[in-house]
Amino acid sequence: MAAGSTYSTIATNTVSGTSTNSVSFTSIPSTYTDLVLIVNSQKTTSGVVNIYLQFNGDSGTNYSATRVYGTGSIASSFRQTSTIWGIAGNQTDSPSSTIFHIMNYKNTTTYKNFLSRYDCAGESTSAGVALWQNTNAINRVDCLLSASNFFSAGSTLTLYGIAAA
């Protein structure tokens, strides 16, 4: 039966200034089963770019993603393979929320598939799944915007841990 309360805050980062392109969560403890990252953000300039994750500092072409999205006029899907981006959603100068679910992040048997839900009332809504082709346990998560784009001040990124019974 129940093993007790879980869904604990591991760390929160609030962006200050206008020159933050990436936010890092390092030394993630191995005491949980899943990670959830909730990003409430916008960027400093107009235009749509990607918001994405990298793990353990790996910026190689070891990521891929599949997404389905709706813009208000169309619904579609796209895929990216062998990229440096674990793409989760878009980022514009309108406020948006993105929730990542990283399952069994410390297992050393499977590649890491992770889920995302992105919502921006001013742009689009989407669901995504992305892959990191690596069997190492995840101990660091970087959340990034495409190059030369920056989070607006006040953007918040909070990492939670969920421990299974």
Classify residue 2 as exposed, middle or buried by CB count within 10 Å of its CB (0-12, 13-18, 19+). exposed
Residue with tokens 């009332």: 121
- Tell me: does residue 11 bind other proteins (CB under 8 A): yes
Q: Which is nearer to other proteins, 104 or 155 (CB)?
A: 104
Least distance from C-beta 140 to other proteins, angstroms?
Answer: 16
Applying CB under 8 A, which of residues 52, 128, 141, 142 lies at the interface with other proteins? Answer: 128
- Tell me: does residue 48 bind other proteins (CB under 8 A): no
CA–CA separation, 106 and 34 (whole Å): 8
Pair 37, 158: CB distance under 8 Å: yes
Classify residue 35 as exposed, middle or buried by CB count within 10 Å of its CB (0-12, 13-18, 19+). buried
Q: Which is nearer to other proteins, 93 or 119 (CB)?
A: 119
- Tell me: does residue 103 bind other proteins (CB under 8 A): yes
CA–CA separation, 8 and 24 (whole Å): 18
Binding mask 51-80 for other proteins (x = CB under 8 A): -------------xxxxxxx----xxxxx-
Pair 22, 48: CB distance under 8 Å: no
- Tell me: does residue 85 bind other proteins (CB under 8 A): no
Residue with tokens 């909730």: 38
Amino acid (one-letter) located at 155? S
- Tell me: does residue 7 bind other proteins (CB under 8 A): yes
Applying CB under 8 A, which of residues 27, 46, 73, 109 lies at the interface with other proteins? Answer: 109
- Tell me: does residue 161 bind other proteins (CB under 8 A): yes
CA-based nearest residue to 137, from 52, 63, 35, 21: 35
Give the binding site for other proteins (CB under 8 A).
1-12, 33-34, 64-70, 75-79, 81-82, 101, 103-104, 107, 109-111, 113-115, 117, 127-131, 133, 135, 161-165
